[in-house]
Amino acid sequence: MISVPVELGDRRYDVVVGGGARHRLADVVESSVPGASRAAVVTQEGIGVEVDPGIPADRFLVPDGEAAKSLTVVEELCRGLARAGVSRSDVIVAVGGGVVTDLAGFAAASFHRGTAYVNVATSLLGQVDAAVGGKTGVNLPEGKNLVGAFWQPRAVLCDTEVLDSLPPREWASGRGEMAKYAFLGSGPGTDRGPDSSLLDLPLDEQVARCVAIKADVVASDEREGHRRMVLNYGHTLAHALEATAFDPDAGWDLRHGEAVAIGLVFAGQLARRLGRIDDRREELHRRVVGGFDLSPLLPHDADPERLVSFMARDKKAHHDLTFVLDGPDGVEVVHGVDRATVVATLAAMDRSSPGDQV
């Protein structure tokens, strides 16, 4: 097992990575939530991962898919917790991917104005990113993750053994976030450049390296005052694509990490158009994304103007268009980007063909 600490003072916790990590849940609950006498296990029907929190537990199922991340589902879950008699001293255990950990984490932050929770991440995306760092939230029709809270888990268990059953597109979704970390784990102050060599490591080490990069950023800027915004590299367009896909007329189906991969390529092209990087560095974004076996293509019918309208609602924006972009000092936050430049960059991107499954 590999243990990666998230250093947040008296709210410090460990992310445990390795095959069979879920079997440590009872010990984790006992040590990190010592007053808990009852657990609420939040999961989805198709997850199929059994856990034992070591204390009496109730099981709560939430719907599948991104649509589950809604205020309606949070209300239903919290009402279920209340009916089950879950108290503020008990513990919520999220068992699933990013949808479950985001949703259950937000419910934990809200129920009794704050209830302890532990994440048991069962997807690659959840293990390398979503389950770590305490950002919880749900979506609105107007955009992704616009309602939420910073609420740190007491522990995160990343059981790589359960990843064996993931379908190919769930692997792709996790690799989109890993491609992001290839950029964040390189640059000034490091001895390596962004590439896909992360995939050459054993799986446990791949996950642990991504977690360590995120943990370092979170420890320095827990509430996204500035540095933590770099964790959104590739996400401004990704979230816009996901929000637009809520429209029933949208002609594409993108997993989160697939959208992030497209967002990374867009970020490289936007940075080049702004003169922040050169042609070689822009092309590197495409090569890294390809190295993770991900598509760089924008959906063929994605409307640049509509995408930009969603980007303007992004959480890191300050009443302007704000992006995380590469540059001479590495990846950093850039405010006040001209709308016409963003639209022109989107319009110039390579696109998938009509009828392609994106």
**Active-site residue numbers?**
113, 135, 177, 214, 224, 228, 232, 235, 239, 256
The rounded radius of gyration (Å) of the Cα atoms in the chain is: 20
3-state secondary structure of 88: coil
What are 52's two structure tokens? 């034992």
8 A C-beta contact, residue 312 and residue 287: no
- Report in angstroms the alpha-carbon separations of 263 from 148, 218, 234: 23, 22, 4
3-state secondary structure of 111: helix
Query: What amino acid is encoded at 117 in this protein?
Result: Y
Q: List all residues 6 or more positions away from 157 whose beta carbon is below 8 Å from its beta carbon.
A: 15, 16, 21, 22, 24, 25, 28, 118, 119, 120, 121
User: Which alpha helices (H) appear in 251-334, and where do they start and end?
Assistant: 256-273, 279-291, 304-311
Closest C-alpha to 115, from 29, 24, 9, 5: 29
